[in-house]
Amino acid sequence: MSLIKINFLKLSNNNKIILKSKNNFLINDKIYLFLKTVAYYNFKSWIVGGALRDFIIGQSVKDIDIAIDGNPEEILKLLKENKIHIENKFLNYGVFFLKFGKIDCNLTCLREDFNHDGRHSKVLFSKNLSADSKRRDLTINSLYLNIEGEIIDFYNGYQDIKNSKLNFIGDYKKKCLEDYLRIMRYIRFCSIFKNPIIPPEYIDFFKDNSCLLKKIPKKKLFYEFKKIFENKFFCNSIKIIKSLDLDYYFLDEILKEDETLKNKLKYYLQNQTSI
């Protein structure tokens, strides 16, 4: 594990980087105030996952995930006492959907996942940040930023982002069999880097197990596919979908209700030379 303070690309001798504009990264004053409120109640919280990854890459942050070290009942009480509107919640998983201005926020209690069946798991709430990090999919999605601007990096995710490396945390086969959607998410994340470094054994495993994607609810696949085209290098993901012989499945089943996306995929499949 390393402790980093962000100063963009400048790494000091003590492996700390300085975050020049903490408030700008925290997107708006409401989010910063929320983190301060959490600290006032003696809970710890961290911005985690995609928002931090996109910030480091240089992309705009559209939504934000926050991890918190309280149990669901404690956090529900905190939210109600401070009159923070809850858009939706799943107490069994310790998940609260909030909104700060135009920014969607997913607030999740630290937890460990177990007894996976390919889509769902049982959970055990925890105060252990390291244990929470183990349930994350990729190293690039496992960075935690605290309110002081320090990044906690358990798996060298910061350097993987800088080097365009897409690595699973731990055993990639186990990760994908725990949750089949991770295969599709991996394919999507290939669209955020111009030249992603993909271990060849991952693609071999995806090819051998492409049938697992057909076990995922179609709405979830559609949601992941739609996000591919929000990224600059979406053609990377289309190439992989084609290599897995899933192009017709997406055209005929996943995108059949969305002519715009369907035609877009058709176009890039038919113009391989431009991909």
Q: Provide the strand spans (E) within 103-217.
A: 103-109, 111-114, 122-125, 143-145, 150-153
The pair of structure tokens assigned to 4 is 């980093």
pLDDT of 28 = 66
Element spanning 30, H or E: helix 29-40
pLDDT of 144 = 95
Per the CB < 8 A criterion, the answer to whether 233 and 265 are in contact is no
Q: Is the dihedral of CA 264, 266, 269, 271 positive or negative?
A: negative
pLDDT of 62 = 80
- CB neighbourhood size of 147 (10 A): 16
Q: Does domain 174-274 have CATH number 1.10.110?
A: yes
Superfamily covering domain 2-162: Beta Polymerase, domain 2 (3.30.460.10)
User: What is the value of pTM for the model shown?
Assistant: 0.87
What angle is formed at CA 20 by the lines to CA 17 and CA 21, rounded to 5 degrees? 135
List of the chain residues with pLDDT < 50: 6-19, 21-23, 273-275
Give the C-alpha distances (Å, rounded to integers) separating 228 from 54, 160, 189, 265, 269. Answer: 14, 20, 8, 11, 15
pLDDT of 101 = 83
Torsion, Cα 169 175 181 183, to 10 degrees, reads: 70
Q: How many helices (H) and strands (E) does the chain have?
A: 13, 10
CA proximity to 59, closest of 197, 237, 217, 192:
192
At 12, the amino acid letter reads S
Report the alpha-carbon distance of residue 40 to residue 93 in Å, rounded: 24
- Predicted confidence (pLDDT) per residue in 36-50, tens digit: 999 999 999 999 999
Q: Are strands 88-90 and 63-68 parallel, antiparallel or unpaired?
A: unpaired
All structural domains of the chain with their residue ranges: 2-162, 174-274
Element spanning 39, H or E: helix 29-40
CA proximity to 109, closest of 80, 75, 148, 152:
75
pLDDT of 114 = 77
pLDDT of 185 = 97
- Predicted confidence (pLDDT) per residue in 125-184, tens digit: 999 999 999 999 999 999 999 988 889 999 999 999 999 999 999 999 999 999 999 999
The pair of structure tokens assigned to 107 is 């607030």
